[in-house]
Amino acid sequence: MPDYALMNQCIYEGKAKEVEQLTQAALAEGRTAQEILSDGLIAGMSVVGEDFKHNILYVPEVLIAARAMKAGMGVLKPLLSAKGAVDSSVGRLLMGTVRGDLHDIGKNLVCMMAEGAGFEVKDIGVDQSVEKFKAAADEFKPDIIGMSALLTTTMTYMKTVVDGFDQPGYDHIKMAIGGAPISQMFADEIGADGYGSDASNAVDLFLYLVGKGAAPVPAGRAGVKAVAVAAERPPGNLVHYQILYWRDLPSAVKVWDDFGEVKQDLPVKFAERIDREAQKLGLTSGDAYTAELKWGEEQTRPGSPDEVARALALELDRPN
């Protein structure tokens, strides 16, 4: 019998090669593609999504896990398509970044997590006009259209897209929006059907919109998460830490000792630097972007995880 628990764990740990091998082994044992998808891949990503929602995992770790899930999907997709099993997806999602906006890392994460939740996803990319959204909708027949924007100057175009679909033949499609400057208030103002505060919340919203889940409660993600409550530490306490890099640009820090752990995304300006570099190098697709994420060497220094995490963020922000 396939070890789906091991497959789930490999997805969680971002072990793409192992997930691919376990998927192939399950098929060799005679298991159906749909069973492997549900019990192996989707179940694994659901744990990742929950831990992301509760600040146990952060964006880079979710991207790595999603890449591992996609390795298994690569094995299953030809079989699912050949057998028409795609009809058993929970819904069809059309995603794009609106006109004038070239940012797509957040959108890519939403697409990966939605696919991991069982949606059939079509990503039409960045800088998309209402005409391109409608042409894609005519072809793909989505249940939901998801739009993203990172800039205040481009978010207003979301209303143009929402208004463009407010006509016979399209009024059954649910409209969802998200991105750094977006809020529930803005979603209400433009007539969107929902707002995703982050990738995990967006997937909860999509499930709700297709009648497969409860109404989500948007919640901002904390910048620092202590996984365990720290006990009294001895004088001279040493902590271990690692820095997550995208190529040579820092993205997050992880600090831990015997009493607890802190994971901290670095401030938004670090993400903006990475985004600019990714755009310049053409590495914005999910797999290309994720392949550049690497944890640095494990190191130690005195202090508590909170103190060291704050100090590292300040040090990494100083000009070289």
Boundary-marking domain end, from 87, 105, 120: 87
Same domain, yes or no, for 311 and 228?
yes
Same domain, yes or no, for 208 and 125?
yes
Count of beta carbons in the 10 Å neighbourhood of residue 54: 14
Q: What is the pLDDT of residue 134?
A: 97
Same domain, yes or no, for 121 and 146?
yes
Same domain, yes or no, for 186 and 125?
yes
Find tokens 């696919």 and name the residue: 115
How far apart CA 143 and CA 92 sit, in angstroms, is: 5
Q: What is the pLDDT of residue 123?
A: 94
Same domain, yes or no, for 5 and 118?
no
Same domain, yes or no, for 293 and 170?
no
Same domain, yes or no, for 275 and 261?
yes
Q: What is the pLDDT of residue 117?
A: 85
Which residues contact residue 29 at a Cβ distance below 8 angstroms, ignoring those fewer than 6 apart? 1, 2
CATH of the domain at 185: 3.40.50.280
How far apart CA 125 and CA 103 sit, in angstroms, is: 9
Same domain, yes or no, for 184 and 95?
yes
Count of beta carbons in the 10 Å neighbourhood of residue 239: 24
Mutual angle of helices 16-28 and 59-82, in 10-degree steps: 30
Same domain, yes or no, for 209 and 113?
yes
**How many folded domains does the chain comprise?**
3
For residue 279, CA distances in Å to 126, 129, 282 come to: 11, 20, 5
Helix runs in 175-230, H state only: 184-190, 199-209
Question: pLDDT tens digits, the chain, 320 residues: what are they?
Answer: 789 999 999 999 888 899 999 999 999 999 998 899 889 998 999 898 888 877 777 777 787 888 889 899 889 888 876 655 445 679 999 999 999 987 777 788 888 889 888 899 999 998 999 999 999 999 999 999 999 998 888 999 999 999 999 999 998 999 999 987 899 999 999 999 999 988 888 999 999 999 998 888 655 444 444 444 445 778 888 999 999 898 999 988 989 988 888 877 787 678 778 878 887 888 766 667 777 888 899 999 999 998 999 999 899 987 76
Q: What is the pLDDT of residue 226?
A: 43
Its domain, for residue 259, covers 224-317
